[in-house]
């Protein structure tokens, strides 16, 4: 059973947060710990639930007292290194303001708590996932810009559009299933754990700086669906050589014709089934495939 006093804290702090996001916060405010949690979330864009939990830890350790009053500057000191701390510190540095404006995101969606979305239909859309998990199903975008920087899981299932620009600063698990971004899909992995992507696109750009395990599969022509595959550019700087790191390519086109790949750059491991489809000179309707590998970086090309 939930502690009634905890419910009161969460409810009261949420009301205070909503008030701060509408009216702003006095620059010389002296706040109780949970009011400070609301102020921190309002000024930094950090998750309110996480801010409340952090304050509860501070109180339990005796770092702050339940009825203690703290200034915004003291909040900045207490929250160094926490989510949103740099944004918060920047927000309180302007001495000319008597009332500080709440954080306003320039992203269309910021994910700070478990999120599930379906049947969205948007134009150019920007998503920032910096904490918690997310799932998007059957969503359409003309262009989707997705920035992922949290060590949780993310799933995009049956999502589509013209362009995908996805940056993975960090992730525990990324699954992109049956995605169709017809003109171009760009996926950049700075630090990843498990990355599993199945996508259709005319052009596919893959950049991997570091990843424990990844599998990219090109779904063009599977089930008679397009678009025509024109080019793939894949860069792998480093990855864990003990795990799978593969790019899976279709062998047949719409009418059952053989597909051929003009390989430039470096030659990775190539499966026996795919080898007959690799050519060393460009031909009409072949797919341009450029590979760049860091020293010892693993990559295997396989048949889809």
Residues 6 or more apart in contact with residue 129 via CB below 8 angstroms = 110, 111, 146, 147, 148, 149, 150, 154
Per-residue confidence (pLDDT) for residue 193, from 0 to 100: 87
Q: Does 145 lie in the same domain as 243?
A: yes
- Our count of domains for the chain comes to 2
Q: Does 120 lie in the same domain as 68?
A: no
Per-residue confidence (pLDDT) for residue 48, from 0 to 100: 86
What the block records as the tokens of 275 is 């080898």
Provide the β-strand partners of residue 289.
232, 263
Which of 100, 132, 161 finishes a domain? 100
Going along 158-268, which residue ranges are E strands?
160-170, 173-189, 192-200, 203-208, 211-218, 231-236, 245-249, 261-265
Per-residue confidence (pLDDT) for residue 1, from 0 to 100: 35
Q: Does 81 lie in the same domain as 131?
A: no
Q: Does 36 lie in the same domain as 56?
A: yes
Q: Please give the chain's pLDDT, 304 residues, in tens.
A: 334 444 478 888 889 999 998 899 999 999 999 999 999 999 988 888 889 999 999 999 999 999 999 999 999 999 998 888 888 998 998 767 889 999 888 899 999 889 999 999 999 999 999 888 999 999 999 999 999 988 889 999 999 999 999 999 888 899 999 999 999 999 999 988 899 999 999 999 999 999 899 999 999 998 877 799 999 999 999 877 778 899 999 999 998 999 999 999 999 999 999 999 999 999 988 999 999 999 888 999 999 8
Quote the domain boundaries for residue 73. 4-100
Q: Does 127 lie in the same domain as 79?
A: no
234 close to 265: Cβ distance less than 8 angstroms: no
Q: Does 72 lie in the same domain as 215?
A: no
Which of 52, 73, 100 finishes a domain? 100
pTM of the model: 0.77
Distance CA 153, CA 186 (A): 19
Which of 69, 100, 131 finishes a domain? 100
């Amino acid at each position: 059973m939930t502690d009634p006093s905890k419910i009161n804290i969460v409810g009261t702090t949420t009301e205070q947060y909503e008030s701060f996001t509408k009216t702003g916060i006095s620059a010389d405010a002296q706040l109780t710990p949970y009011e400070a949690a609301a102020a921190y979330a309002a000024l930094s864009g950090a998750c309110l639930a996480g801010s409340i939990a952090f304050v509860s830890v501070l109180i339990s350790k005796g770092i702050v007292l339940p009825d203690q009053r703290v200034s915004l500057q003291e909040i900045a000191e207490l929250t160094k290194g926490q989510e949103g701390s740099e944004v918060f510190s920047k927000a309180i540095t302007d001495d000319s303001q008597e009332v500080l404006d709440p954080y306003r995101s320039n992203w269309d969606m910021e994910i700070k708590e478990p999120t599930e979305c379906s049947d969205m239909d948007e134009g150019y859309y920007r998503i920032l996932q910096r904490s918690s998990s997310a799932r998007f199903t059957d969503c359409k975008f003309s262009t989707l810009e997705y920035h992922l920087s949290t060590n949780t899981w993310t799933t995009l299932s049956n999502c589509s559009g013209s362009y995908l620009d996805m940056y993975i600063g960090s992730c525990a698990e990324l699954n992109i299933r049956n995605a169709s971004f017809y003109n171009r899909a760009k996926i950049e992995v700075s630090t990843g754990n498990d990355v599993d992507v199945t996508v259709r696109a005319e052009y596919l750009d893959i950049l991997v700086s570091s990843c424990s395990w990844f599998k990219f599969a090109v779904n063009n022509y599977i089930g008679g669906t397009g678009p025509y595959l024109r080019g793939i550019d894949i860069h792998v700087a480093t990855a864990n050589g003990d795990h799978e790191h593969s790019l899976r390519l279709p062998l047949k086109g719409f009418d059952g014709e053989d597909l051929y790949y003009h390989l430039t750059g470096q030659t990775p491991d190539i499966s026996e089934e795919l080898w007959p489809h690799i050519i060393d000179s460009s031909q009409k309707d072949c797919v341009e495939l450029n590979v760049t590998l860091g020293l010892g970086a693993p990559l295997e090309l396989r048949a889809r």
